[in-house]
Structure 1
Amino acid sequence: MNGDKLTLIGVPLHYGADRRGVEMGPSALRGAQLQARLQALGFDVRDAGDIAVPKAEEPAASGTNLKYLHEVAQVNRELCRAVDGALKEGRFPFVIGGDHSIAIGTIKGVRKHVRKLGVIWFDAHSDVNTERTTGSGNIHGMPLAVCLGYGHPNLLAVGGEENVVDPRNVVILGARSIDPGERNFLKSQGIRVFTMHEIDRFGMLQVMEETLRIVTDGTDGVHLSLDLDGMDPSEAPGVGTPVPGGLSYRESHFAMETIHERGCLVSAEIVEVNPMLDVGNKTASVAVGLVGSLFGERIL
């Protein structure tokens, strides 16, 4: 990343996941000393507080099978403005969630400033469902599709329909739970997906070299969307949709270290930390440790 000014933006949203607890993620990350960790690495950290989340009454949006569509879109519009504002001030936007639907607002805000954006999607899931393919109606399974230009008009309108990313510069890392409709979408878009099978087969060094080649090919910067369920549940138990067989502690740190070494990052977010499902705030602590590696912390 360029510069040493960083703005934390909290988004205590759970409506995209339709499961309570993840809205406490920003508080858990702050409680795990996220700001102090970044300041120790020499960053000027400004905590902008939390985006306001409206109270919802009914889960189903009228005329759709999407849960809390109005609320998710509203929060993402506010987040998009906050990210845009941080970048206008020359500060690195670091978003802490909240469920993964907040990636819509983050990426749309970044795209207002970065003409061609690469995206690393660290996740057990591919999050490319749409209203047509979703089995749950939960919007946290859709943000990458929206950022590629596919989804409900209310979500596409966040930050402008034109502010999308090129699928040729997107990599999904650590996937092991992909819906049938998502498989078809990923193949049609030509998105590179490193499943756990490929990570086991080739190792993290080769996977990260190829990941960084793809996301930096002709781009002006890279966004990291870090979902803690990308890690194995034994390492990060406090997530809403855990999937066995995920990335290890060291594999995850190695990924963060190699991203830092490339110096291409322009924005990042951490999502899906759910303290209600955690053990002694372990997942938030692991997340903060990954942030340390992402921003230059080393063993020696």
Structure 2
Amino acid sequence: MKKISIIGVPMDLGQNRRGVDMGPSAIRYAGLEKRLKSLDLEVIDTGDIEISRDHGQIKKETNLKNLNEVIVTNDNLNNKVSEVISEGSFPLVLGGDHSIAIGTLAGAAKHYDNLGVIWYDAHGDLNTADTSPSGNIHGMPLAVSLGLGHEDLVNIGGYAPKIKPENIVIIGARSLDKGERELIKEKGIKVYTMHEVDKLGMSTVIKETLDYLSKKTEGVHLSLDLDGLDPEDCPGVGTPVMGGLSYRESHLAMEMLSDSGLITSAEFVEVNPILDEKNKTAEAAVGLIASLFGEKLL
């Protein structure tokens, strides 16, 4: 029986809009544990990572908001994810804003020589302090995991980089800053924008993604930002972008990832109940998680 460990990270410090700290609770309330147990899975809810509220002095002048707090929280998450993997369990992390991916990837990548990453998101999250228009760290976790950015973020877990650019696939991108576009081209990161998804179809996108990653990675981490989906399906997110992935094609993606057997860790982030409609976004998250773990109609 597959063992899954749920890890909540009620973090709202990587961005400006309050409410995303209630995301893990909203996903739990939408029936996550019951849904997973119905699939004959062993499910352990480990509770929430304590969120640092340390307002100590930042070592260097920086425009990064809540830097110390984000560092401490992600280091705690890194330790928890690594512990869960060491126990033979699948870490399922619930956010919280997307800055928590820094800790998730730090904890997961130390267990694999070449960790692949599927970044299912409207955004690239490839900014650094030099390129970020906002200074919000939730727009930086993929860059940080590549070893780019503030040294204290980059070195969470005691090593860097966590991942290689050739082991990343971004799916659903439709909002990229200038610095991110330049970095994608410089590093040769594989990206399926909405143009490619529409042109090829989700089935082809996922098949190509799996072919691309399976040849050179040991495990694959799925980082799914609910703003990757269209706001019509997931209104409860802090940075909605029109023209996104549909709930239906996202289900197909999760089912194909499930069938592949390649996903070794996952996180679902940026659910903000304050901005949501009757917990619609959290319920969508639970549906996608269930598909990732093998739920099928027949």
TM-score by length of 2: 0.97
Q: 1:273 aligns with which of 256, 271, 285?
A: 271
Report deviation, 1:59. Answer: 11
> Contact 2:58–2:68 (CA<8 Å) still a contact in 1?
no
For 1:79, the equivalent position in structure 2 comes to 77
Q: Structure 1: how far apart are the matches of 2:154 and 2:278?
A: 38
Residues 1:202 and 1:295: Cα distance change in structure 2 (over 3 Å): same
User: Which aligned pairs between 1:232-247 and structure 2 lie closer than 5 A?
Assistant: 232-247=230-245
Number of matched residues? 298
In structure 1, runs of 5+ residues without a counterpart are none
Q: Distance in 1 between matches of 2:60 and 2:127?
A: 19
Partner AA of 1:232 in structure 2: D
Match in the other structure for 2:127 = 129
Any unmatched runs of 5+ in structure 2?
Answer: none
Query: In structure 1, what is the Cα distance between the partners aligned to 2:91 and 2:55?
Result: 31
Rounded to whole Å, the distance in 1 between the matches of 2:198 and 2:137 is 30
Cα drift, residue 188 of structure 1? 0.5
| 1:1-300 alignment, distance < 5 Å | 4-55=2-53, 57=55, 63-300=61-298
Task: Provide the rounded CA distance (Å) in 1 between the counterparts of 2:55 and 2:149.
Answer: 23
Counterpart Cα distance in 2 of 1:45 and 1:63:
43
- Structure 2 residue identity aligned to 1:219: T
The alignment-based identity, stated in percent, is 56
Name the CA shift for 1:160/1:198 in 2 (closer, same or farther; >3 Å).
Answer: same
Contact 1:6/1:94 (<8 A) preserved:
yes
Return the offset for 1:60: 8.3
8 A contact 2:55–2:69 mirrored in 1:
no
Answer yes or no: is the 8 Å Cα contact 1:61–1:67 preserved in 2: no
AA aligned to 1:184 is E
Distance 2:33 2:114 in 1: 29
Residues in 1 aligned to 2:9 and 2:17: alpha-carbon distance in whole angstroms: 15
Which ranges of 4 or more aligned residues in structure 1 deviate by more than 6 Å? 58-61
CA contact (8 A) 1:65 1:131 kept: yes
Distance 1:180 1:60, change over 3 A: farther
Q: Give the Cα separation in 1 of the matches to 2:41 and 2:15.
A: 32
Q: Deviations over 1:218-262 (max 9, x none)?
A: 211100001000000000000000000000111110110110111
The answer on whether the counterparts of 1:239 and 1:274 sit within 8 Å (CA) in structure 2 is yes
| Contact 1:168 1:214 (C-alpha < 8 Å) held by counterparts | no
TM-score (norm 1): 0.97
Partner Cα distance (1:233, 1:60) in 2: 36
| Structure 1 Cα separation of the partners of residues 231 and 59 of structure 2 | 32
Partners of 1:239 and 1:231 in 2: CA distance = 10
Residue 287 of structure 2 aligns with an amino acid whose one-letter code is G
Secondary structure class of the residue paired with 1:90: coil
CA shift digits 1:172-211 (9 cap, x unpaired):
0000000000000011110011000111111111111111
2: CA distance between counterparts of 1:56 and 1:251? 41
| CA–CA distance in structure 1, aligned partners of residues 268 and 81 of structure 2 | 14
Letter in 1 for 2:275: L
How big is the shift at 1:61?
Answer: 7.8
Tell me, what secondary structure is at the counterpart of 1:149? coil
Indicate if the aligned counterparts of 2:146 and 2:160 stay in contact, CA closer than 8 A.
no
Q: Secondary structure at the match of 2:201?
A: helix
Partners of 2:214 and 2:157 in 1: CA distance: 23
Deviation at 1:55, TM superposition (A): 2.4
Give the C-alpha shift of residue 115 in structure 1: 1.5
